[in-house]
Amino acid sequence: MKEKVKVLLTETEVDARISDLGAQISKDYEGKEIHMICILKGGAFFACELAKRITVPVSIDFMYVSSYGNGTTSSGNVKIVKDLDEPLLDKEVLIAEDIIDSGRTLHHLIPLLYKRKPKSIRVCTLLSKPERREVEMEADYTGFTIPDEFVVGYGLDYAQKYRNLPYIGVVEQ
């Protein structure tokens, strides 16, 4: 049976919020340069839209990580499937992530990245589901705080589908 997708956040709402985030980030990083790290695959759509709305210089690099563990719940270890191309030394790193759920991915990734001696690391996430948190992880910039529901669109997938939706939706069976 084909699942249905109910709109949670419209394209207009998401775009407006990304503009707000871009403006805030541009202000906070005035006089600096941002090295954006896009976490694939989900973060790609958000990272591009965000980067377009930032007015300080932005360089961008991509990383693909997967948390591996016992099936459905991640053990909290994170495996780098595709590493960054550029070094992070002395850079102002801004991680662009689609969603923070348990918090485990970033909780384990950030210390790994600090070993590469960036000047700073901040996190910008489009969505956050605080009710699902298993480890402490608060983003520096959060687009929307949402309830504990499985969402798709704007890079987020359900079995690799729906990443291309221009809005955030909830999957209904």
Q: Which residues are near Mg ion by CB under 5 A?
A: 42
Q: How far is the CB of 4 from ligand IMP (least distance, A)?
A: 15
Radius of gyration of the chain from Cα atoms?
Answer: 16
Q: Does 150 bind ligand IMP (CB under 6 A)?
A: yes
Is 101 a residue of the active site?
A: yes
SS3 assignment, position 3: coil
Q: How far is the CB of 42 from Mg ion (least distance, A)?
A: 4
Q: How far is the CB of 101 from ligand IMP (least distance, A)?
A: 3
Q: Does 99 bind ligand IMP (CB under 6 A)?
A: yes
Q: Does 123 bind ligand IMP (CB under 6 A)?
A: no
For ligand IMP, give the closer residue by CB, 68 or 150: 150
Cα separation of 11 and 99, whole Å? 17
Partners of 168 in the β-ladder? 9
Q: Does 37 bind ligand IMP (CB under 6 A)?
A: no
Among 22, 42, 143, 153, binds ligand IMP (CB under 6 A): 42
- At 21, the amino acid letter reads L
- Backbone angle region of 31, left / alpha / beta, with phi > 0 → left and psi within -120 to 50 → alpha: left
SS3 assignment, position 84: coil
* Cβ count within 10 A of residue 107: 18
Q: Which residues bind ligand IMP (CB under 6 A)?
A: 42, 67, 97-105, 150-151, 156
Catalytic residue annotation:
101
